[in-house]
Amino acid sequence: MTLKDIAREAGVSISTVSRIINGNSTKAASKELQDKIWKIARAGGYAPNTSAQTLKQKVPVKKTTSPSIACLYARSQDAQNDAFFSALTRSIEQEARREGYVVKYSFSALDIHTPSVCEQIEKNEVDGVAILGRCDVATMKFMKEHFRKVIYTGLNPLDASWDQVICDGNAIAADAVRHLISLGHEKIGYIGETCNEIRYQAYCNTLADHHIAFDKNVIANVPGSSEGGYQGARQVLKRSSKVTAFFCMNDITAIGAIRAIKECGYHIPNDIAVISMDDIDIAQYISPMLTTMHIPIEEMGRMTAKLLIDRINNGHTLPMKLSLPYYLAKRESCP
């Protein structure tokens, strides 16, 4: 696939595609269009033709293969439809391009035992791999066996001797719940995954720290998706009319919950407040604008690529753990 092919499929100019792919400008197009172009490039297996670029400059060189990395989506099977991991991947790819690397392939934890993906991994044609999101012990063991240069990025620190780029999910969730408590809420519902989920654990611990009784009727164990948020909010509101606030595990879940709350006849934030985590782009464009904990997703991606490439180039040898800051983005869904 060439830049021309990508431009034709995306319906934009070749120069726009070139600026985005080569990381020359993050303002070349909207993030939605950037995501679309990256998706087309990945699907078509695009890689820059460095030999052709050099010949164009009339400098003879040997044919070489671009250094490359891979990405493992440990928590999401389809990262392209997950706003958090899509933004994280885009940032990793852009920084890798600036460093002269390409993201050769991406796969999910569910893919590692399929023949085609296994064959690709066995060939070991990449210089390193970035693990995006928490992975289980079996996946960690598999990655250690097949890749020498590994970095992990996510909200949960791993018990592994890898480089790690972290934004502390436990602290973020606890601060979100504390914010609701500071506004006077005591009947605080939770919408999202509960099994082995650090955000749910932080929710429970923070309520206990403030001597607020746990109520299973205001908990909805649902997938972290817009549909999950919608169904979860409806479940809780059907069981309990006393809930005055919701903590949702991420922004996408909160967006679904907001729709359900409105359909059930409640006003946000006067009747029910809503807070979540991530601060994806759409959070400030829905109505009401979503109060959320801002996670520096793009910076997480950039630092992940930088540290992995530095590790590949033997720039450092000891495991590094980089913890990035977060903050509360106050908007309209909380009073």
Per-residue pLDDT of 278-331, as tens digits, reads 999 999 999 999 999 999 999 999 999 999 999 999 999 899 999 999 999 999
Determine contact, residues 311/128, Cβ cutoff 8 Å.
yes
pLDDT band at 79 (very low <50, low <70, confident <90, very high): low
Report the C-alpha gap between 74 and 211 in whole angstroms: 35
pLDDT band at 105 (very low <50, low <70, confident <90, very high): confident
Helix (H) or strand (E) holding 297: helix 297-312
Phi, psi of 269 (to 5 degrees): -105, 5
Report the C-alpha gap between 39 and 28 in whole angstroms: 16
Confidence check: pLDDT of 145 > 90: no
Alpha helices, DSSP H, located in 152-222: 169-182, 198-209
| First vs last C-alpha separation in the chain | 50
CA distances from 57 to 16, 49, 50, 67, 325 (A): 21, 13, 11, 21, 43
**Tens digits of residue pLDDT in 194-215:** 998 999 999 999 999 999 999 9
Q: How many CB atoms lie within 10 A of CB 261?
A: 26
- Summarize the confidence of residues 119-125 as an average pLDDT: 77
Helix (H) or strand (E) holding 106: strand 102-108
- The pTM for the full model equals 0.78
Determine contact, residues 292/278, Cβ cutoff 8 Å.
yes
Confidence check: pLDDT of 4 > 90: no
pLDDT band at 230 (very low <50, low <70, confident <90, very high): very high
CA distances from 237 to 189, 232, 265 (A): 10, 9, 10
Helices and strands in the chain: count of H runs, count of E runs:
12, 12
Contacts of 178 (CB under 8 A, 6+ apart): 206, 210
Sign of CA dihedral 309, 315, 318, 321: negative
Q: How many CB atoms lie within 10 A of CB 139?
A: 17
Report the C-alpha gap between 298 and 105 in whole angstroms: 20
